């Protein structure tokens, strides 16, 4: 990190996509609907090669008991837990419609429950949900089955129940251990509680425990966040996701409760990022990419070393690039060369399913240029390199001619030490990994065409 100058950090302190997909979700159109999505499912069903590959499942549980002011997720704040039972009934309807088109018993190697707070559901309701999924899909014995956990909603006994249901990976939302910061964002949870839960998860045999952190929150300082970093290194989770807080109160109503004057200055945010990278690297973590760190023996770090890293809507993954069936309100999926998103409100989501229709309200069918650029961007984001000849052969094009303008723009990043360009291809340098989103943005046709970047989070 010592080679990363403050000037370089400031230069790349700009909004940009996280590239969990390309094109990004802001490019989805309402002209893409249920019929387009069903066609993609049917094509998968009748394509032997595609059908033979395991798929991934994502289930969105939107409910939370309390509002976290920083949150930009699609969520519903309620203490009425009976609403969950209604939601589960509609999820079952959606699963039935999905299976009717893609075929029952499709192999699944990856499952992720996100939210909201999936642990808003009771043990019985989580069992009900998993029973529904297992009755319709075939879960592989060796797979990644993860769930996002609000530490305030679980006990050791609840974690044991999650293990019994087949979950083998947990992601704890921590954000910051400082009491003043927690109070400012309306998410108070003692550090001792998280330490006890992580210890319980290890004793219960979970394969991996992730901790989410956010820098740039109200009341944070470089010194206070350093104390949180020390606690996290002491906690030693298998993986760490470190996100920059994006203050967009005009888009996300809960953030209007955060006073602008309580937010740290840009220079303090840069100090927090620099301090975080230094602390985690010194503690022995591998920098996987963007804002993810993992212990050397974790599957994510191993995949990075072996060139098997992949990326999907949940972030970095060890699972091969595969179709993603998304279930629940606002959930985003991918089937074949298409992306799709469900209705964003419960009322609309329920209404579609009452009509016997899949709740797809927008999406995108990718063209050839989209597919080529997606391959390049994902290669940069996951492998840290793009080789000209293999890419040219795979897509039947002359890479250096097709991307002549982009290679010219990359020349400046080569001067800054972020990439190396030679006759064989483009390689992201160790320092360039910290700015890999900025490197990938060079190949984003929509951004380079002048698309407003303000709707994205900042690169750092």
Residues annotated within the binding site for S-adenosyl-L-methionine are 58, 70-72, 115, 148, 175, 187, 212, 246, 332
Contact predicate 21/381, CB 8 Å = no
Quote the tokens at residue 330.
Answer: 């606002």
Quote the tokens at residue 269.
Answer: 């945010």
Contact predicate 268/221, CB 8 Å = yes
Strands (E), 324-429: 324-327, 332-335, 338-342, 360-365, 385-387, 419-421, 425-428
214 forms beta bridges with: 243
Per-residue DSSP letter, 79: S
Phi/psi of residue 368, each to 5°? -60, -45
Contact predicate 193/246, CB 8 Å = no
Residues annotated within the binding site for [4Fe-4S] cluster are 64, 68, 71
Residue in the structure block whose two tokens are 């030693």: 236
Residues annotated within the binding site are 58, 64, 68, 70-72, 115, 148, 175, 187, 212, 246, 332
Per-residue DSSP letter, 265: P
Dist. CA 31–CA 39, nearest whole Å: 14
Q: Are strands 137-149 and 169-175 parallel, antiparallel or unpaired?
A: parallel
Quote the tokens at residue 235.
Answer: 């906690």
């Amino acid at each position: 990190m010592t080679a990363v100058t403050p000037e370089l950090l400031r230069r790349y302190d700009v909004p940009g996509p996280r590239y969990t997909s390309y094109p990004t979700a802001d490019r989805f159109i309402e002209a893409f609907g249920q019929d387009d999505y069903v066609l993609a499912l049917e094509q998968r069903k009748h394509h032997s090669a595609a059908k033979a590959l395991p798929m991934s499942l994502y289930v969105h549980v939107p409910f939370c008991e309390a509002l976290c002011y920083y949150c930009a997720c699609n969520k519903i704040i309620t203490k009425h837990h009976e609403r969950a039972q209604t939601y589960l009934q509609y999820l079952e309807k959606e699963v039935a419609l999905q299976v009717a088109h893609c075929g029952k018993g499709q192999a699944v190697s990856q499952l992720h429950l996100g939210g909201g707070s999936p642990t808003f559901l009771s043990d019985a309701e989580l069992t009900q949900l998993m029973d529904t999924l297992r009755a319709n899909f075939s879960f592989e014995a060796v797979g990644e089955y993860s769930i996002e956990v609000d530490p305030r909603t679980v006990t050791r006994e609840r974690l044991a129940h999650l293990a019994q249901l087949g979950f083998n990976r947990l992601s704890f939302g921590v954000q910051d251990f400082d009491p003043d910061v927690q109070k400012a964002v309306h998410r108070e949870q003692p550090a001792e509680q998280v330490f006890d839960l992580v210890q319980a998860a290890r004793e219960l045999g979970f394969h991996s425990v992730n901790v989410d952190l956010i820098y740039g929150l109200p009341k944070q300082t470089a010194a206070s966040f350093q104390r949180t970093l020390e606690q996290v290194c002491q906690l030693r989770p298998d993986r760490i996701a470190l996100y920059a807080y994006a203050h967009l109160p005009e888009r996300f109503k809960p953030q209007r409760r955060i006073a602008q004057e309580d937010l740290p200055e840009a220079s303090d945010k840069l100090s927090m990022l620099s301090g975080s990278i230094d602390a985690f690297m010194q503690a022995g973590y591998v920098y996987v990419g963007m804002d993810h760190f993992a212990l050397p023996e974790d599957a994510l770090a191993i995949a990075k070393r072996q060139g098997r890293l992949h990326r999907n809507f949940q972030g970095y993954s060890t699972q091969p690039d595969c179709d993603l069936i998304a279930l629940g309100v606002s959930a985003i999926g991918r089937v074949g060369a298409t992306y799709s998103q469900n209705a964003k409100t419960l009322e609309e989501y329920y209404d579609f399913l009452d009509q016997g229709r899949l709740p797809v309200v927008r999406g995108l069918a990718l063209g050839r240029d989209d597919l080529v650029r997606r391959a390049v961007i994902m290669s940069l984001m996951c492998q840290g390199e793009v080789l000209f000849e293999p890419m040219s052969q795979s897509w039947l094009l002359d890479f250096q001619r097709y991307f002549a303008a982009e290679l010219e723009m990359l020349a400046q990043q080569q001067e800054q030490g972020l990439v190396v360009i030679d006759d064989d291809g483009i390689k992201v340098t160790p320092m360039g990994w910290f700015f890999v989103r900025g490197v990938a943005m060079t190949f984003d046709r929509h951004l380079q065409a002048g698309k407003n970047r303000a709707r994205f989070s900042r690169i750092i």
